Amino acid sequence: MSLATLLRRRLIPLLFVTLLVGVGVPYGCSELAYRERQWVFSIEPGNASWFTGVPEGVRQFNLPVPDGLTGTDYLHAWWWPARRPDAPTLLYLHGTRWNLTAQVRRIATLRQLGYSVLAIDYRGFGESPGDVPSERSVYQDARVAWKYLQSLQPDPRKRYLYGHSLGGAVAVDLAWRIARDGDPTGDYPAAAGLIIESTFTTLADAATAVVDTRFPLRWLMSEKFDSLDKIPDIHIPVLIVHGGDDRYVPPRFSEALYAAARPPKRLLLIPGGTHSNSMVIGTRDYAAALRELFGGVHLSEAEKGQSSTGS
């Protein structure tokens, strides 16, 4: 089930609660915000039903979150190095509902495309303990993982960000903070490029696209995930990918992000691509776009005939 399907199913009670607040019925603001976060992230416990196991070569470990609420917070992470020791490295940020066990196919394809991949579960997902995430907490988790990735890939010319669906908004925020921070070795180490797929302009825009309502969602929702406001200030090359047949998060959102982004940039629309399969069915187009925008990253001849591993 996609983010948009979940929004369609779950925003109706959210709008009802918000309406009650708007007309003066007492309802705790903190409780409303908590429910909104539950509806937005809709975490599915346990492994994805199609998960067949962690791929061979993946190292699993826990990454401490120093400024977490409990003092013992950590992120469960996967590290899957590429075959080439000089390969570029990428931070993988997933979307809502599903944890890492549902991401294997996409992670494997990125590795097939030439990247070493560090992938994390946000706190509250999978084996990363925690309460229901928030916009603030997933941004914090991405920062912790990005700072750690510096130890895996010291060369800033080989560090990339990738986000799928809501993870695209997390990746945009991280790239925006890298540009704003301006300290290549600080909390936001420098990056070489940003890749976002099947993502949206703002969370409210995504909700409005699938829920027929006149409510001003932009003002009612506390979780903003406003990529449209941030992407003009990102100073690294940006690849924006979207499936042409995405029925849940329309391609027009990626077109709007592309229009707002600074060059160098590239928009890749995958014919027949859905919300989840664009990278898999468009692997060669993906490889060409990566090579065109970033250079050096390519699908090797030996790997072209190989299918992605796992789910």
Q: Which of 264, 306, 271 is nearest to 114 (CA)?
A: 306
The predicted model gives 41-51 an average pLDDT of: 94
Q: What is the pLDDT of residue 208?
A: 83
> Looking at 38-42, 80-84, 125-129, 180-184, which range is the least confident one?
180-184
Q: What is the pLDDT of residue 222?
A: 85
25: pLDDT strictly greater than 50: no
Indicate the average pLDDT of the chain: 87
Tens of pLDDT along 239-270?
Answer: 999 999 999 899 999 999 999 999 999 999 99
Q: Which CATH number fits domain 3-298: 3.40.50.1820, 1.10.10.10, 3.10.20.30, 3.40.50.300?
A: 3.40.50.1820
> Looking at 8-22, 93-107, 181-195, 236-250, which range is the least confident one?
8-22
Tens of pLDDT along 104-135?
Answer: 999 999 999 999 999 999 999 999 999 999 99
311: pLDDT strictly greater than 90: no
300: pLDDT strictly greater than 80: no
Q: What long-range pairs does 57-66 form, CB within 8 A, spacing at least 24?
A: 57/81, 62/127, 63/120, 63/144, 63/145, 63/148, 64/144, 65/123, 65/140, 65/141, 65/144, 66/144
Domain boundaries defined on the chain: 3-298
The predicted model gives 42-62 an average pLDDT of: 96
